[in-house]
Amino acid sequence: MTLLVDFGGRHRIISYSVVLVHLSEEAIWKMPLFKRKPFDLAKPPEDLEPSDLVYQVRFTKEIFRDYQEYLNRINLYRQRVWMCKSTGKSNLTYEEAMVMEKNAIQKVQQLPNDLVAPALRIIQFSMLSLRDLADLVTKKLQKDLFVGAELYGKKDDGLYPCRVLKIVENGVGKMQYEVALLGENKKITENAILHGEDLVWKKTPFNRKILKSFIRESTCRSIPWVLHEKLAQKHGISTDLPEELRSKFFLQGGQLVNRTKKRKNENRNNVGEANGESGKSKRNKGETGKPDASKEENNQPEDEPVKYPIDDLLVKPGPDDPLFTDRPSPSRDFNVPMDCIGDLLMVWDFCSSFSRVLNLWPFSLEDFENAICHKDSNLVLIVETHSALLRILIKDDGEYSLALQNKKRKSKISLITWTEYVCDFLEMINVTELCSCMTTIKRGHYGLLDANAKLGILCELVCHALETDLIRGKLDDLIEQRRALGATVRGEALEYARKKREEKEQLKGESNGLEVKENSMESTGSNPHMAENGEENGDMVEEVISSRQSNAFVNSRKQLNGQSKRGEKQKLDPKVEAENITNSNEKEAQKQLTGEKKEDQEKKSKEKREQRKEYFKREMEKRSIRTNPLGKDRDYNRYWWFRRDGRIFVESSDSKQWGYYCAKEEVDALMSSLNPKGERERALQQQLEKFYPRISLELQKRSKDLAQKIALEEAVLRRSTRVRAPPRENPANAFLKYVNKWKED
């Protein structure tokens, strides 16, 4: 039979001969709990043929014919709704709970066999909580000694390590123990017979945690704790309900049932039948009035919707999915062989990143690729690249520097002698594949080497340069600078948050002050004389007049105040009224101006903050330590973007195939083809969206440069053969014009 097995989200097809998976009752006890309740595994499908394609869950061995059922079950197992029955720990995935239970069972098995039966007798039908029951079992088991127990025995006013050899009963009824006193390396020195009170535990063979796991493992229900039937029969423990519990519980079908709960459920059912079934219960029941078997059978949960994102290989097209475009095929027109594209990118990225340290003027990836493929042996770009890397090794005073001193080489590398230094380096590293190129290099035919050999030499130079103190010091400086920039960004964010908090508190204080003023005005009334006199008049009024008179007094006050206000308004001149109106208009205009000023200030501060953020982003990018891939697609292809080259490179999962996208339209089509329901493609899409403005700008710039180059090439071709331009004027041969402007004197 062929099975598609889940291996951490990835599927592999394997050959499988046994279909049915039988689980013993003992294994079922160890199954994780689903929302604190037992969960039954899916039964194998019937009538399976050897040629059927089925899906199997790796850790439960469940088999499914339907992919959607398999996917739902996998997603259910990945949710943190499972509980370890042995330890009681919840919020776990199914597999985590299984591993935890396995470890807990291994610890439980450390309990001595002689103590299992006494412990089970204490546990059976106990009404104590788990903690109290574990404490009780611990106390009682410490008194029960067994053959093989290692303790300390009291003899001649001293404590000696000993081991119980035999339990001896005397006629009085007290237990005596024949023990072997132990010396160094647990060698028996002598035998003795001691009483139980003379023996002290050296170290108990169990603790409360182990006992808790043991209690959970050996019981099928709690309070009262009931042992599994087969386990009780094995150790000869009675399964009959004690007399004191028969008034509250009774046995039904081998299960312990609570009388009060059953009575309440029966009463609730009777009330429901009298009042009629609710619409929800009718929907959940069939014509016979029984619950829907498809949802309740085997205590299986309903099919829950898939929570995305999930592993990309598990994603299936859905009806609500947007229209994904076809993924564009990347260009593969490289000049160097396909198997050395990775080395080409690595060497170029290192030289571009540490160009200042190497004193090497930056060059484009295209120029470097063309230079590698060129047959000229003394090409300036190639010579300067090798010389810069060799100078770093010489300055480090390491193994290479010592080798040059032994050969009495000069420290200055020239256009004529650079190949000698390269051969010295190859002799030092002693790589068989590269040493075979030394004869060709010594003859002065470096350009005749194939691209693999040239890039192999450069890769070795880069690897040794990375170990030098100069490069490591530069990396340390970059790390410190990035940390300082990060601290500055965090400091500015905290300062901005502090200012905002202070402004809010200030506004809150002002609003509270206004409320207090209004309340005080209301309490003193509108009469200015009342406000001036303060509390004295109020106290006198309260002392003189009664409650009824006070109400009348207040009402009369209000009427008098209202009349006086109306009288004052009538007495005001029209000039004064006009002045008041103009003053109010001026105040409103001032408020509007201040509001506009505040808005302008907020806008300016916001713009400054955005500018600061962009500045810090640029500075962090300048101090980038290494280039990481943007992400992976569903087939594990990696996508790379280098800030000094506009293209997006695509590396296959086995690193044997490379390609690139060099147009903005191709990047747009790539982003539209990514399915965000998958974990990898979702992360890749987010990274592409993050760098999209920079990528599109670089691609547009690259397209303009290509258009200019094509125009120049066409202009060169249109020239007369009599006025033929020299080969170096062709834009395709721009790498021949390279000059190292940062070259050391």
How far, CA to CA in Å, does 252 sit from each of 78, 229, 255, 256, 344? 36, 14, 5, 6, 77
CA angle 285, 291, 297 (to 5 degrees): 140
| Number of DSSP helices (H) and strands (E) in the chain, helices first | 26, 19
Where is average pLDDT lowest: 14-28, 208-222, 275-289, 373-387?
A: 14-28
Q: What angle, 0 to 180 degrees and rounded to 10, lies between the N-to-C axes of helices 94-108 and 67-78?
A: 60
User: Alpha carbon of 397 to those of 390, 392, 401: distances in Å?
Assistant: 12, 9, 5
- The rounded distance, in Å, linking the Cα atoms of 699 and 692 is 10
Alpha helices, DSSP H, located in 144-285: 208-218, 229-234, 259-275, 279-284
Query: Residue holding tokens 């409320």?
Result: 515
Q: Which two tokens stand for residue 567?
A: 């009288």
pLDDT at site 451: 93
Q: Which amino acid is residue 277, in one-letter code?
A: E
- Spatial separation of the C-alpha atoms in residues 383 and 35, rounded to whole Å: 69
183, 191 Cβ separation under 8 angstroms: no
C-beta of residue 306 within 8 angstroms of C-beta of residue 72:
yes
- Comparing 154-163, 517-526, 653-662, which segment has the lowest mean pLDDT? 517-526
How many residues are recorded in the chain? 745
Residues of the chain above pLDDT 90, percent: 22
Residue 194: pLDDT over 90? no
CA–CA dist 601, 349 (Å, integer):
44
Taking the C-alpha atoms of residue 57 and residue 62, their distance in angstroms, rounded to an integer, is 5
Average pLDDT over residues 153-173: 77
Q: Which CATH fold topology does 108-260 show?
A: SH3 type barrels. (2.30.30)
- Domains in the chain: boundaries: 2-105, 108-260, 340-467, 629-720
Confidence band for 117, pLDDT divided at 50, 70 and 90:
confident
Q: 716-745: per-residue pLDDT in tens?
A: 666 544 455 555 456 667 888 899 998 876
Measured between alpha carbons, how far is 116 from 146 in angstroms, rounded to an integer? 11
Helix (H, G, I), strand (E, B) or coil at 158: strand
Inter-CA distances, 179 with 62, 185, 190, Å? 53, 17, 9
pTM: 0.53
Confirm if 644 and 665 have CB atoms less than 8 A apart.
no
Give per-residue pLDDT as tens, 542-567.
Answer: 443 344 444 444 454 445 455 544 44
- Whether 664 contacts 611, CB under 8 Å: no
- Cα 215 from Cα 38, distance rounded (Å): 17
Taking alpha carbons only, the member of 590, 698, 588 closest to residue 647 is 698
The predicted structure's pLDDT at residue 661: 94
